[in-house]
Amino acid sequence: MDTIGITALIRELAALDYHTMHNRDFLLTWEKADDEIAATFTVAEILRGLRQRNITSRLFDSGLAVSLFRDNSTRTRFSFASACNLLGLTVQDLDESTSQIAHGETVRETATMISFMADVIGIRDDMYIGRGNTYMRQVASAVQAGFDEGVLRQRPTLVNLQCDIDHPTQSMSDMLHIINTFGGVENLAGRKIAMTWAYSPSYGKPLSVPQGVIGLMTRFGMDVVLAHPPGYEVMPEVEELARRQAAQSGGSFARVDSMAEAFAGADIVYPKSWAPFAAMERRTELYDQGDMKGIGALEQELLVQNSEHMDWTCTEELMRTTEGGAALYMHCLPADITGVSCDHGEVEAPVFDRYRVPLYRQAGYKPYVIAAMILLARKENAADTLAAILEGQRPRIR
C-alpha cells in the first residue's frame, strides 16, 4: 500500500462516527455500532500500510499493556504483544499464580494495582460459561471506579482476547481476511459462509469462535449457515442475535444438522470443533462445586459423544461441492489435521496444506486489529493522529 492509499483510508476514517469508542472497552462485537466496526477495520488497514511503508506508528513514549491469559494461547498472546509494541507500549503478563490473587486479593484491588500506568488490559478467560465476560466487566467496573475516585490518572481500556461468549479479536481478523479476499466489504452481500462443527479428538473447545463468527458475519448481508450435529448447540441468545442481525442486514441465517448441506455452494467454509453449550454449563457447575472427579467424568462423556460424529470432517470431496469447488477455507488455528496432528480430525491434510498460506494471512491480521482497538480507545480523534503520523513519516527501521 502506498501513501496515497493510506491517505484515502484516513479520509474514510474521518467520515465515520467512531468517537464514542474513546475510553471505552472492546468486549463484544455486537455492542459496537456499524461505524465503530468499520473504523476498527480501517485503522487496522492504515496501521498495516504504515508498517509496509516502514513508517513507525509508536504513539506512546511510555506506558504499560497488561495481559492476563487464563487459558493457553499462541496466536492471540503474541498478537497482543505485537500490537502493543507497534503502538509503543510495554507488555507485562499478569501471572495469577505468582501474584497476590493467589492469596485472595479482590478483583477490584488487583485491577487498580495493575492500572496505575496502564493504557490497556487484555484478558483471555474462556474456560467457564458465565464467568469470562463477567470477570472482564468486573475488572472494567473496578478501573472505572479507580478513575472516578482519582486513584488512577487514566482509565485503561479492556480488550477481550477471548471469553466464554465472544472472541472479537479473532472474528474481526477473520472478517478483515474475508473483506480483502473478496475485494471489499461491498462484495460480501449474498455470499454464503458455512460455520460448521467438525470432529476433534479433544474436548472442551470454547464456543466463542463460532459465536463470534455468527455474531459478526451476519451484519454484512451474508448468508450465514451454522451447522452442527444434534446436541452441539451454541448459546441460544447468540443464535437469536445472529438471526436478527441477518434480517437487518438483508442477509440470512440458518441452522442445519448436515455438514454437506452447509458446504453446498458455500463461498467460505469454517469447520471448527466446539463443545456443547449444555455440557459447558455443567462443567461450570462442577467447577463451582470443586468436583474435579465429576469434570473428569464429563470429559470422557464428551469424548465419546465426539466420536459418534467422526464423519464431520472437512474433506476434498466436500470442498468440491462449494462454490466453484474453491471456497475459502478458514480456521482460527491450530487445526486438528488428519494424519498430521492427530489420527482423525477437523480437516484432511491436503485441504489444510492447500490453504496454509491464506490461513497464515488470516492470522496475520490479528495484531493490527488489536492495535486498532487500542488506538481508537486511547485517541479520541484517531484520523488526525494517523494523519500526523503519516505526515511525519518517521522510519520504523533507520
Q: What is the pLDDT of residues 126-145, one digit of tens each?
A: 999 999 999 999 999 999 99
Query: Terminus-to-terminus CA distance in the chain, angstroms?
Result: 20
- How far, CA to CA in Å, does 21 sit from each of 41, 242, 313, 375? 14, 23, 40, 10
How far is 108 from 15, CA to CA, in rounded Å?
Answer: 38
Confidence band for 149, pLDDT divided at 50, 70 and 90 = very high
CB-CB contact of 47 with 57 (8 Å)? yes
> Cell 475485494 appears where?
183
Model confidence pLDDT, tens digit, residues 172-200: 999 999 999 999 999 999 999 999 999 99
**Residue 315, pLDDT score:** 98
DSSP 237-302: HHHHHHHHHHHHHT-EEEEES-HHHHHTT-SEEEE-----HHHHHHHHHHHHTT-HHHHHHHHHHH
- How far, CA to CA in Å, does 156 sit from each of 20, 22, 26, 377? 15, 11, 12, 9
Angle at Cα 101 formed by Cα 100 and Cα 105, nearest 5°? 85
Q: Is 154 helix (H, G, I), strand (E, B) or coil?
A: coil
Cell of 223: 448468508
Model confidence pLDDT, tens digit, residues 217-274: 999 999 999 999 999 999 999 999 999 999 999 999 999 999 999 999 999 999 999 9
In angstroms, how far is CA 366 from the centroid of its own chain?
A: 8
How far is 233 from 242, CA to CA, in rounded Å?
Answer: 14
* Contacts for 196 with CB less than 8 Å, ≥ 6 apart: 225, 226, 227, 228, 259, 262, 263, 269, 270, 271, 272, 312
| CATH architecture, range 170-363 | 3-Layer(aba) Sandwich (3.40)
How far is 155 from 148, CA to CA, in rounded Å?
Answer: 9
Name the E strands within the chain: 64-69, 90-93, 118-125, 157-163, 192-196, 223-227, 252-256, 268-271, 328-329, 337-338, 347-348
Q: What value does the mean pLDDT take over residues 5-21?
A: 97
* Domain ranges (residues) in the chain: 3-166+366-392, 170-363
Q: Is 358 helix (H, G, I), strand (E, B) or coil?
A: helix
| CATH architecture, range 3-166+366-392 | 3-Layer(aba) Sandwich (3.40)
DSSP 305-327: HHHTTTT--B-HHHHTTSGGG-P
CB-CB contact of 46 with 6 (8 Å)? yes
Q: Is 191 helix (H, G, I), strand (E, B) or coil?
A: coil
**Residue 357, pLDDT score:** 98
Q: How many CB atoms lie within 10 A of CB 363?
A: 21
Model confidence pLDDT, tens digit, residues 43-93: 999 999 999 999 999 999 999 999 999 999 999 999 999 999 999 999 999
Instruction: Tell me: pLDDT of 209 over 80.
Output: yes
Instruction: Tell me: pLDDT of 374 over 80.
Output: yes
When the pLDDT of each residue in the chain is averaged and rounded to a whole number, the result is 96
Instruction: Tell me: pLDDT of 95 over 70.
Output: yes
- Does this model's pTM top 0.95? My answer is yes
How far is 43 from 87, CA to CA, in rounded Å?
Answer: 12
Note if the bond before 334 is cis, omega within 30 degrees. yes
Instruction: Tell me: pLDDT of 101 over 80.
Output: no
